[in-house]
Chains A and B, each alone.
Chain A
Amino acid sequence: MDEQKKVMMLGNEAIARGAYEAGVKVSAAYPGTPSTEISENLVKYKDELYCEWSPNEKVAMEVAIGASFAGVRALASMKHVGVNVAADPLYSMSYIGVTGGLVLVAADDPGLYSSQNEQDSRMVARAAQVPVIEPSDSQEAKEFIKFAYDMSEKYDTPVIFRTTTRLSHSQGLVTLNDRLNIEDKPYERNIAKNVMMPGNAKKRHLVVEEREKRLIEDSCDFPINRVEMNDTKIGVITSGIPYQYVKEALPNASVLKLGLVNPLPRKMIEDFAKKVDKLIIFEELDPLIETQVKSWGIKAIGKEIFTIQGEYSANMLRKAVLNEDLDIKEAAEVPGRPPILCPGCPHRSAFTVLSKLKIHAAGDIGCYTLGAVPPLGVIDTTVCMGSSISSLHGMEKARGKEYIKNWVAVIGDSTFMHTGVNSLMNMVYNQGTGTVMILDNSTTGMTGHQDHAATGKTLQGDEVPAINIPELCRAIGVKNVYEINVFDVEGLEKLIKQELAKDEVSVIITKTPCVLLNKTPITHTCQVDEEKCKKCGMCMKPGCPAITRLPNGVTRIDTTMCNGCGLCKSQCKFGAIVDVPV
């Protein structure tokens, strides 16, 4: 290969390339913004490595752990909240250590572009005593991950490779290298290290403490931690994407750029602090570096002048550090544009029925979370993956079965396979009577259409037997299992009423593929016959973005957006909406 070939790469693509070059042989992941494109790019190298979508992050982590036990370099990737799901094996692996290098990519989401919270994965890593490496651009993403594998093997530890939305979804130039030829390590049975029962784990805990001490010392010489000495009036300790803002806004400042953000290279930081007049710590989200540095008696400024919420910027430094008057025009006051369900989305039909019946829904994580906002307004709660079914069950146990007669749990197919199935087991086992709606659109929608165990296709493109969701529910012990086309609004309404009346667990599966996956050409669009329109606005109730009301009160359908799903037509009592062939 041409050693100097430079290409544009998304941060996530560069992480995948780095894992490939590092000789990774097994990768497992569950899709989650902003981590998804790592696996989607890694699969391009499937002739030389194996990669899969696992049903959830815990399983993905354990697949990677197994590969490490078997002596090869392994990767697990997930979004920040996925790290919580994978936390159980992660904490134990910190004690066990690795055979083949083991890296967990944790993709944080400062600013909450597509998440339910803004947690800082570095805090999880600190609790689990796992080192964290953080790159600042695509080139570093690719290079640092190779360093992460060497470090994992040298220090006998899993490594968290932390990225953020801005890094994962920015493109920059990357120089490509060849894939390393890493030999598989021989298997050695070692129960004192690999079987975590109390007697063994006590000893391993001490090993972990020693490892951390060694890392604190050795990391002062790691090439991924570096000092850029300039003017010494201001010194900044930073890492990741915030480093780029420092270079933009304070080009003359001295900078200690950390590649390893846990544990911290204490001596290096102490030396740097001594050399500068004013020490600033510039890190997004939690004051992880700041709290430790201050605890060593070093004077520094951090969250006193920078927010704990959201993304940082160069302007933030210009204002807070340089006190510059930036002469920026105020943003205009305009109506917000929150994300919405697409025109023709099958979820809209399900929510239209629930809204009409005035039913509350315990929601879950996916596009259907968008059913919470007006005009649909049917999702009452959203917590985490799989929580809809179990939280509905908890409500019943708190207040009795009558209390949930106007409630359903709403969950997507991918989320059901992730952790929802466990919750359904619990509902059956503990004699619940809840009604569960599985909105099966045959894909993982929000993250951009990834396959899962019930779609019949793997990440590597193999056709496999799809897990049959209705049969799975029956096997768990659910007697009332139904499948219905979600656009059959009358049938769905009748079915929901019928199942809510029962004192038994029911599962209603609305099986209609995601509209974005439907490749069949549109045969017709819906249009309003203005003569017949009574201006009642019923067609607008489902909140389809293709429908707007004209100044004279009649509605109009934007034919460039409509795909003829017919939901609005089903809402019109006057026959004013008609199909028009295209």
Chain B
Amino acid sequence: METKNIMIVGVGGQGTLLTSRILGGIMLGAGYDVKMSEVHGMAQRGGSVVTYVRYGDNVSEPIVEEGQADVLIAFEQLEAKRYAHFLKKDGVLIVNTQRIDPMPVVIGAAEYPEGIVEELKKDYKVIDVDAMSEALKLGNPKVFNVIVLGVAAQHMDFTKEQWFEVIEKTVKPKFIDMNKTAFEVGYSL
């Protein structure tokens, strides 16, 4: 099988690492060779972060390059725009519509672009979700990332039970139920 490329982009602290590890876990369980690349250190402090998940029969490089992503999961609108050109022509962009102003915008040195999602829809296949509102309904804003993953999972060939199994293996025991509930919300949106 040709190697498939998934990218997760967002703002440091949004949980891209956890999401990529769940994704990596499910690909591994399906018997694929998997490579993932993560961001640690300074960028984790509120900077723009990217993680890559690649799977197939035999994966060489651990990163996804421009024009190669089959799926791009963006946890924030501006980050979706920043990395959209990494998508393949027929790639899918799943974007959480949350807006987090970067510091240049906060201090008035730059403007946050308007109408990002509409703009992206002109060029790409876009699925947008307001996962933060859904997470707040569950009473836990932190699990929005797993809700987004649930939405993405609708477009992948794994059963809900397979996802649950990986979530159980990946997250800390006391957070398993919350994350499964969040996944379910995204999966049925």
Contact = CB atoms under 8 A, between A and B. Distances in A.
Contacts of B11: 337
B57 interface: no
Contact of B45 (A34, A169, A370, A547): A370
A480 interface: no
Contact of A166 (B62, B82, B112): B62
Contacts of B13: 342
B41 A331 contact: no
B65 A543 contact: no
**What are the 5 A-B residue pairs with the smallest beta carbon separation, nearest first?**
A114-B41, A33-B41, A339-B47, A335-B110, A170-B62
Interface in A161-182: 166, 169-173
Given A166-B63, A335-B112, A341 B45 contact: yes
B1 interface: no
A545 B85 contact: no
Given A245-B61, A334-B81, A335-B102, A34 B41 contact: yes
A326 B66 contact: yes
A330 B43 contact: no
Interface string A311-339: 00111000000000011111110111111
B35 A337 contact: no
Nearest to B13: A342
Interface in A1-42: 8, 10, 33-34, 36-37
Given A335-B102, A341-B46, A375-B103, 9 more contacts: A33-B41, A171-B36, A248-B60, A328-B66, A331-B82, A335-B104, A335-B110, A340-B46, A375-B106
Classify chain A: how many residues form its interface, as a range.
35 or more
A335 B106 contact: no
Give the interface centre of B34, B41, B60, B102 by most chain A CB atoms within 10 Å.
Answer: B41
10 contacts: A36-B40, A169-B37, A170-B62, A314-B65, A327-B67, A332-B85, A336-B48, A339-B42, A373-B103, A545-B103
Contact of A313 (B63, B102, B112): B63
Given A113-B41, A331-B82, A332-B82, A338 B66 contact: no
Contacts of B110: 335-336
Given A332-B85, A338-B103, A367 B34 contact: no
Given A244-B62, A337-B48, A543-B103, A329 B85 contact: yes
B134 to A, nearest CB: 13
B115 interface: no
B45 A172 contact: no
Interface in B75-105: 78-79, 81-82, 84-85, 100-105
